[in-house]
Homo-oligomer: A and B are copies of this chain.
């Protein structure tokens, strides 16, 4: 079957499924080869991008799913009476970044990096479903990891799609700058 021939069934399945579905699951349901599904997904994606359509194909949390176009957000929120979820606080964002890159990570390690106890941010992220308990460290502390909801909320196809952590590595210039900043007061004083 040509890539286009699969479009209607693919669109129907993605429309019906409320969770992201993998190409393998779609291939099994459609009783076709996975590579055909992959090709059809690609052509469906570009069809949807071409404009005039209200949905886009997105790759999130290890699967494919349809999402409404962002232009419709305001009207959708009016229709569904659904307010935006509150933004992340700085503390929540820091804890989330630590958990995302170091998972599984124990609470004391999060506190050590941030220099402050992070219990309340950990609790609200857990309640918001973005992180969850995932086993224990060898010292017996509960460890945390991100959830698939986190990947959905951040539009990530998976954890390997997190922003490249190397971009946050301090450059030697950053390091020199920080050292200099700390030393600057001393220089001024000794002048």
Contacts and interface: CB of A to CB of B under 8 A. Distances in A.
Interface string A122-161: 0000111100110000000000000110000000000000
Contacts of A13: 54, 68, 72, 75-76, 79
A85 to B, nearest CB: 10
A40 B120 CA distance: 34
- Interface size on A, as a range, is 35 or more
A17 B79 contact: yes
A9 interface: yes
B68 A12 contact: yes
Contact of A16 (B9, B16, B80): B80
A19 B129 contact: no
Interface in A149-186: none
A189 interface: no
Given A29-B76, A75-B13, A75-B30, A8 B52 contact: yes
Contact of A54 (B9, B25, B51, B75): B9
Given A19-B84, A79-B26, A127-B91, A55 B12 contact: yes
Nearest to A19: B84
B79 A15 contact: no
A21 B68 CA distance: 16
A26 B76 CA distance: 9
Contact of A15 (B54, B71, B120, B126): B54
Given A16-B76, A76-B13, A120 B129 contact: yes
7 contacts: A4-B52, A8-B53, A12-B71, A13-B76, A16-B76, A28-B79, A29-B76
8 smallest CB-CB distances across A and B, nearest first, come from A11-B54, A12-B72, A12-B54, A29-B79, A12-B68, A29-B78, A8-B54, A29-B75
